[in-house]
Amino acid sequence: GAVVSQHPSRVICKSGTSVKIECRSLDFQATTMFWYRQFPKKSLMLMATSNEGSKATYEQGVEKDKFLINHASLTLSTLTVTSAHPEDSSFYICSARKRHSYEQYFGPGTRLTVT
Protein backbone atom coordinates (compact mmCIF):
# COMPACT_ATOMS: atom_id res chain seq x y z
CA GLY A 1 0.00 0.00 0.00
CA ALA A 2 0.84 3.73 -0.04
CA VAL A 3 1.24 4.38 -3.74
CA VAL A 4 1.25 7.91 -5.10
CA SER A 5 0.95 8.69 -8.78
CA GLN A 6 1.80 11.89 -10.56
CA HIS A 7 0.72 13.01 -13.99
CA PRO A 8 2.16 13.95 -16.37
CA SER A 9 5.66 12.60 -15.88
CA ARG A 10 7.07 15.01 -18.43
CA VAL A 11 5.65 18.12 -20.03
CA ILE A 12 6.95 20.75 -22.42
CA CYS A 13 5.01 23.98 -22.76
CA LYS A 14 5.44 27.42 -24.27
CA SER A 15 6.06 30.56 -22.25
CA GLY A 16 2.87 32.16 -21.08
CA THR A 17 0.81 28.99 -20.94
CA SER A 18 -0.37 27.24 -17.79
CA VAL A 19 0.39 23.67 -16.83
CA LYS A 20 -1.49 21.49 -14.37
CA ILE A 21 0.20 18.62 -12.53
CA GLU A 22 -1.88 16.02 -10.69
CA CYS A 23 -0.89 14.07 -7.61
CA ARG A 24 -3.02 11.14 -6.52
CA SER A 25 -2.84 8.76 -3.59
CA LEU A 26 -4.04 5.49 -5.08
CA ASP A 27 -4.67 3.27 -2.09
CA PHE A 28 -4.95 5.53 0.92
CA GLN A 29 -6.50 8.79 2.03
CA ALA A 30 -4.01 11.62 2.11
CA THR A 31 -5.02 14.23 4.62
CA THR A 32 -1.94 16.26 3.75
CA MET A 33 -0.08 16.62 0.47
CA PHE A 34 3.18 18.40 -0.15
CA TRP A 35 4.67 19.90 -3.29
CA TYR A 36 8.42 20.07 -3.79
CA ARG A 37 10.67 21.45 -6.45
CA GLN A 38 14.18 20.31 -7.21
CA PHE A 39 16.77 22.47 -8.91
CA PRO A 40 19.79 20.77 -10.49
CA LYS A 41 22.21 19.46 -7.88
CA LYS A 42 20.06 20.82 -5.06
CA SER A 43 17.87 19.35 -2.37
CA LEU A 44 14.14 18.87 -2.72
CA MET A 45 12.70 22.24 -1.68
CA LEU A 46 9.25 22.36 -0.13
CA MET A 47 6.97 24.74 -2.02
CA ALA A 48 3.70 24.31 -0.19
CA THR A 49 1.65 22.12 2.11
CA SER A 50 -2.00 21.44 1.40
CA ASN A 51 -4.61 19.95 3.66
CA GLU A 52 -7.79 18.55 2.17
CA GLY A 53 -10.50 21.15 1.94
CA SER A 54 -8.39 24.10 3.03
CA LYS A 55 -6.05 26.59 1.43
CA ALA A 56 -2.45 25.62 0.87
CA THR A 57 0.31 27.02 3.04
CA TYR A 58 3.15 28.33 0.91
CA GLU A 59 6.79 28.52 1.88
CA GLN A 60 8.56 31.82 1.92
CA GLY A 61 9.50 32.95 -1.55
CA VAL A 62 6.92 30.81 -3.35
CA GLU A 63 4.32 32.89 -5.18
CA LYS A 64 0.87 31.54 -4.47
CA ASP A 65 -0.63 33.25 -7.52
CA LYS A 66 2.01 31.64 -9.67
CA PHE A 67 1.75 28.15 -8.25
CA LEU A 68 -1.91 27.38 -7.64
CA ILE A 69 -2.53 24.39 -5.42
CA ASN A 70 -5.86 22.66 -4.97
CA HIS A 71 -6.52 19.73 -2.65
CA ALA A 72 -10.16 19.06 -3.36
CA SER A 73 -10.34 15.49 -2.14
CA LEU A 74 -8.49 13.08 0.11
CA THR A 75 -6.84 11.46 -2.90
CA LEU A 76 -6.07 14.32 -5.27
CA SER A 77 -4.02 17.49 -5.20
CA THR A 78 -3.15 19.61 -8.22
CA LEU A 79 -0.40 22.13 -8.85
CA THR A 80 -0.97 24.62 -11.65
CA VAL A 81 1.99 26.62 -12.87
CA THR A 82 0.38 29.74 -14.30
CA SER A 83 1.86 31.85 -17.07
CA ALA A 84 4.91 29.65 -17.15
CA HIS A 85 8.35 31.07 -17.91
CA PRO A 86 11.61 29.29 -18.72
CA GLU A 87 12.81 29.83 -15.15
CA ASP A 88 9.90 27.66 -13.99
CA SER A 89 11.50 24.71 -15.76
CA SER A 90 12.25 22.23 -13.04
CA PHE A 91 11.43 18.90 -11.50
CA TYR A 92 8.25 18.99 -9.42
CA ILE A 93 7.40 16.17 -7.05
CA CYS A 94 4.53 15.63 -4.67
CA SER A 95 4.14 13.58 -1.54
CA ALA A 96 1.16 12.47 0.50
CA ARG A 97 0.77 11.69 4.16
CA LYS A 98 -1.81 9.68 6.04
CA ARG A 99 -3.46 11.06 9.13
CA HIS A 100 -1.39 10.64 12.32
CA SER A 101 1.66 9.45 10.41
CA TYR A 102 5.12 10.93 9.97
CA GLU A 103 5.81 9.14 6.72
CA GLN A 104 5.44 10.88 3.39
CA TYR A 105 4.88 8.82 0.25
CA PHE A 106 6.21 10.34 -2.92
CA GLY A 107 5.04 10.40 -6.48
CA PRO A 108 7.54 9.84 -9.30
CA GLY A 109 7.78 13.51 -10.18
CA THR A 110 7.08 15.72 -13.20
CA ARG A 111 9.78 17.23 -15.37
CA LEU A 112 8.54 20.59 -16.65
CA THR A 113 10.30 22.34 -19.51
CA VAL A 114 9.13 25.79 -20.55
CA THR A 115 10.35 26.94 -23.95
Sites of contact with other proteins (CB under 8 A):
4, 32, 41-46, 49, 59, 93, 102-109
Nearest distance, CB of residue 14 and other proteins, angstroms: 26
Question: Residue 16 or 108: which CB sits closer to other proteins?
Answer: 108
At 63 the three-state DSSP class reads: coil
Question: Residue 53 or 108: which CB sits closer to other proteins?
Answer: 108
| CA of residue 112 relative to chain centroid, distance | 12
Nearest distance, CB of residue 108 and other proteins, angstroms: 5
DSSP assignment of 18-75 equals -EEEEEEESSS--SEEEEEEE-TTS-EEEEEEEETTSPPEEPTT--TTTEEEEEEETT
Single-letter amino acid, residue 2 = A
Nearest distance, CB of residue 46 and other proteins, angstroms: 6
Question: Residue 19 or 98: which CB sits closer to other proteins?
Answer: 98
